[in-house]
Amino acid sequence: MRVDYAQMYVLSGDAEPDIKQAFAGQANGLCGAAVPGALFLMTGLRFGEVGLDVEVHATEPPLGEEWEEAVEVSFAAQPGGVRLAGWESDGYELPVPPGDYRVRYCARGIDEGRDVDQLDEGADPVDFYLLQFWPAPPSPDRILRQTSDTEDEQYFLNKYGRTPNARLRAADGCTAGMVLLDRDLVIALSELDDDTLRDIARWAALRAVTQAGLAEHPTVAPAVAALRAGEPLPAPFDEEHGWMSAIENVPTRTPVPHLPPFQPGGDEDTGEWIVEFYGLSALNDVSSAPPLVAAVAAVESAAVAHGRDHYLAFLGDLRVTFPAVAP
């Protein structure tokens, strides 16, 4: 199976596996199943071919001794079929009828795949995976086997390419999308002091609302003034998800294409976000705690607001404005 950005997916119905949502609230970091009808599968190799087998069973199968890592999640197969997909391909149809299933995701050679990083075309796989489906009622995900120091360590290494510092570990649940856009930037942000992180969050939020055309909107202008003055943001942007009430006062809805690699489909992905949503969301991000979460979230929202054609330029501007995050 071809993987890109160390990920592949099982999709059913209209589900689209956003990585931030896929792993929300889960114990394991290998198979994200929090989005109904979707599995977000992480691999060690970032680019190239991995070994993958898929099995459908009538009852729970035994766990083979050859697997170094194994996790289980629940999955609801929707009418219309189940398919295995890569980031740039629809993949293969799977013989999984509609219904509730338990899915076991097993791995072998993740460390080797991560070390190789990119596998040349035609080369033999170095990491191998197994998906097993069987009918079962929904239940929480669980870790069955781990052979690295901890399964979390394997997850962190796979995600960040190194052992993250304590601040980044604590903020991990909020970094998934930004890591896909610019992993080195996330790591650099984790090494900054809190005041600089707050400055970056305010700068990114101002760029986001400006890009969304909302800087002078009556609902947003007081928050923009507070950003420029370095003052706390006024209501509703001082509360979690407060921007969702402000969106009612912003009638414009401007679509912006998905940024690679947030969604499967590659250049063929025609999905869209709404730029105004992300402009307002960035304002809310400024007040997030701790400061690293605020900076990462605001930068990600601003990147989305700039769209597929301009987000790299935005990230470049960030590095020029704040040289501490430059490579």
How do residues 61-102 score in pLDDT, each as one tens digit? 999 999 999 999 999 999 989 999 987 766 789 999 999 999
Question: What's the mean pLDDT in 271-298?
Answer: 86
42 and 118 inside one domain: yes
Domain co-membership, 125 together with 8: yes
The confidence score (pLDDT) of residue 251 equals: 77
Q: Evaluate the CA torsion angle 206, 260, 288, 217 in order and state its sign.
A: positive
State yes or no: cis peptide before 236, omega within 30 of 0: yes
Q: How sure is the predictor about 262, in pLDDT bands with cuts at 50, 70 and 90? A: low
- Range(s) of the domain holding residue 202: 179-325
**Domain co-membership, 143 together with 191:** no
Q: What CATH number does residue 107 fall under?
A: 2.60.34.30
**What is the spatial distance between Cα 62 and Cα 215, in angstroms, rounded to a whole number?**
58
User: For 137-174, how does the pLDDT look when each residue is reduced to its tens digit (9 = 90+)?
Assistant: 999 889 898 775 434 555 665 666 767 777 887 776 67
| Together in a domain, 184 and 156 | no
In this structure, are 249 and 317 located in the same domain? yes
Same domain, 86 and 146: yes
What pLDDT score does 154 carry?
53
Phi, psi (deg, nearest 5) at residue 118: -130, 125
Is residue 169 one of the residues assigned to a domain?
no
User: Residues 8-21: what's their mean pLDDT?
Assistant: 79
Residue 218 falls inside a structural domain: yes
Q: Is the CB of residue 165 less than 8 Å from the CB of residue 117?
A: no
| Residue 144 sits in the same domain as residue 19 | yes
pTM summary value = 0.56
In a domain, 173, yes or no: no
The pLDDT tens digits of the residues spanning 185-224 come to 999 999 999 999 999 999 999 999 999 999 999 989 999 9
Does any domain span residue 269?
yes
In the chain, the number of structural domains is 2
pLDDT of residue 93: 92
